């Protein structure tokens, strides 16, 4: 089932409750909906995690966790999906969002020669922030909606397959009982 497949990668809630850094927010972490995995919580968690993954802010896990708590969706899935944008994937993803924002605003994209300096970052960001932010918001919203419906579809597909397997097992078991009954004279 989809729940078993996803649960393999999730941390144990009891382990998380024992972490000293989380004591200040422990009162909000006791809601069982944050840890329970069902179709609604998994789909909502995908939407939350994917939205915050494409928003260009530092510490994206924090707003993802706050949003997951507010909407009462699975917290570990929400926070884990934020890592789609990591130090390796951020440059191409955010360059794409910038190009998309430039296209939507009908402004020519600036050629970017990346330097790892604070001066370059602040100087370039003041010039490209509008298309970059617009592209990020569009991609975050689309990824969120697509992730929500993809998880609902994934969950439904696995539920239907499980029902079919159970039905086939029952038919097979029932067929064996019928054959045994017929053999007994």
User: For helices 61-71 and 39-53, what crossing angle results, to 10°?
Assistant: 150
State the pLDDT at residue 158: 82
> Where is average pLDDT lowest: 22-26, 103-107, 118-122?
22-26
DSSP state at residue 179: H
DSSP string, 60-73: THHHHHHHHHHHT-
pLDDT confidence band for 116 (50 / 70 / 90): low
Mean pLDDT, rounded, of the chain? 79
State the pLDDT at residue 141: 95
Give kind and range of the element (H or E) at residue 122.
Answer: helix 118-183
Q: Which residues of 100-118 are buried (b: 16+ CB within 10 A; e: fewer)?
A: bbbeeeeeeeeeeeeeeee
Q: In terms of pLDDT, which residue wins out, 159 or 139?
A: 139
State the pLDDT at residue 28: 55
pLDDT confidence band for 169 (50 / 70 / 90): confident
What does the block give as tokens for 54? 């494409």
How many of the other CB atoms lie within 10 Å of CB of 167?
10
Q: How far is CA 179 from CA 166, 169, 170, 174, 176, in A?
A: 20, 15, 14, 9, 5
Please report, rounded to a whole number, the percentage of residues in the chain having pLDDT higher than 90: 23
Please report, rounded to a whole number, the percentage of residues in the chain having pLDDT higher than 70: 71
79-96 per-position pLDDT tens digit: 889 999 988 888 889 889
pLDDT over threshold 90, residue 48: yes
Q: In terms of pLDDT, which residue wins out, 114 or 72?
A: 72
123-151 per-position pLDDT tens digit: 777 777 888 889 999 999 999 999 999 99
3-state secondary structure of 88: coil
Say how far apart CA 28 and CA 30 lie, in whole Å: 6
Say how far apart CA 52 and CA 150 lie, in whole Å: 17
pLDDT over threshold 90, residue 182: no
Q: Which of 67, 77, 71 is nearest to 6 (CA)?
A: 77
Q: How many residues does the chain have?
A: 185
Q: What is the pTM of this model?
A: 0.71
pLDDT over threshold 80, residue 171: no
């Amino acid at each position: 089932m989809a729940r078993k497949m996803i649960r393999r990668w999730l941390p144990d809630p009891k382990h998380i409750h024992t972490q000293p850094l989380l004591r200040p927010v422990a009162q909000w972490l006791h809601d069982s909906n944050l840890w329970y995995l069902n179709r609604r919580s998994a789909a909502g968690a995908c939407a939350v995690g994917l939205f915050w993954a494409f928003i260009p802010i530092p510490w994206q896990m924090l707003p993802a966790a706050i949003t997951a708590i507010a909407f009462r969706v699975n917290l570990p899935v929400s926070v884990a999906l934020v890592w789609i944008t990591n130090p390796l994937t951020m440059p191409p993803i955010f360059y794409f969002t910038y190009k998309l924002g430039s296209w939507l605003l009908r402004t020519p994209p600036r050629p970017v020669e990346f330097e790892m300096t604070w001066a370059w970052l602040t100087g370039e960001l003041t010039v490209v922030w509008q298309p970059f932010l617009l592209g990020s918001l569009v991609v975050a919203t689309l990824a969120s909606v697509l992730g929500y419906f993809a998880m609902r579809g994934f969950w439904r597909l696995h539920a239907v397959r499980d029902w079919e397997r159970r039905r086939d097992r029952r038919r097979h078991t029932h067929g064996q009982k019928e054959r045994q009954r017929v053999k007994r004279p």
